[in-house]
Amino acid sequence: MFKNKLSLFLLCMTLPWCTAYSADLNELSKHSGVSVKRLEQAISLAQFQPKIIETMTRPYESKQWWEYRNLFITKSRVNAGVDFYFKHEDTLKNAEAKTGVPPEIVCAIIGVETFYGKNMGNWSVLDALYTLGFNYPPREKYFSKEFANFVALADRENWDLKSVLGSYAGAMGMGQFMPSSYLSYAVDFDNDGKINLFNDIEDAIGSVANYFKAHGWDQGHGIFYPALAKKDPTELMKKEWNLTAGEMYENGISTKVNIPADEKVRLFKFELKDNKLGFGVGLHNFNVIMKYNKSPLYARAVYELSVFIRAEHDKRLLERGIKVKPHSRIP
């Protein structure tokens, strides 16, 4: 589609969301601690990938909820998630003990991101971040910093810049960490002296849990509840996370679970089949999932997958004659 950078630039100039931005290597050097010379060297090794630009213009998150849900809430993904849970239960329980993040949430993240490590991406991370950081004006500011972060990370870990593979957006490993997250939240969970989110499942599990802990996961509390709206909730949705449950209830929204009146919540609209609409209420932990990926579609998919994984996990235990502890969350 885009044969060269000039055609992409000319197209971009016709689009309302396109704003000029030119990465300053001196600023990127200050941001990342990587020398300008090293950044220039990395840029010289990178290749522009027009297909990445095409993919960025049609992300999964642009789909309607029912379409998006069908991609991730599948029998095969649930069953694989339960298998993953049983296989790595000791590590998952250890991570829960240290971070408060339940196993099913960690499983769901890795399940949605990479189908439990099977699909970690085949793009050169260097090329992906160069393409988006220096050739995609809508997001250049963010991705140019991630490019510099990646060079810093590669130097720290002694990686060959060109050999690291990931998603078209430059995310890496089983949990698809961006370079900044890898630098800040990835942990050596098995204490082998190395942090490896690609091949070390213990590190991947511990790092996802650590990310959630660092972003304020509230152990034992609720995540998301379906809601009914008796009248147009548009104004309530505009309040985003400045909405309280009490205000929501006073304005015609109802949930089966009674959320404390002073609790901060956010009301979301979800597009269903046949042009119907559904609504849901996100609590603090839903917001934490959205720190991982800002799309409410993503957060709801992770939540629903986690529910199915936990239910199937417990079902298999009961079939073996093993008692299951009651599982409930405080609203």
Taking alpha carbons only, the member of 123, 129, 122 closest to residue 39 is 129
Is the pTM above the cut of 0.85?
yes
Mean model confidence pLDDT for the chain: 93
pLDDT in tens, 222-251: 999 999 999 999 999 999 999 999 999 999
- Looking at the DSSP bridge assignments, the partners of residue 269 are 279
User: Which structural domains are found in the chain, ordered by start?
Assistant: 5-58+121-171 (1.10.8.350), 224-282 (no CATH)
- Is 157 labeled as catalytic in the residue annotation? no
- Let me know: does 91 contact 321? Beta carbons within 8 Å: no
Helix, strand, coil percentages in the chain from 3-state DSSP, rounded to 5: 55, 10, 35
Q: What is the pLDDT of residue 152?
A: 98
Please give the torsion angle defined by the CA atoms of residues 95, 98, 103 and 109, in that order, rounded to the nearest 10 degrees: -70
Check 67, 89, 96, 113 and give the catalytic one.
113
**pLDDT at 216 > cutoff 90:** yes
Band (pLDDT 50/70/90 cuts) for residue 6 is very low
Band (pLDDT 50/70/90 cuts) for residue 44 is very high
Q: What is the pLDDT of residue 22?
A: 65
For 110, other C-beta atoms within 10 Å of its C-beta total 23
Look at 158-162, 200-204, 262-266, 271-275 and tell me which has the smallest mean pLDDT.
Answer: 271-275
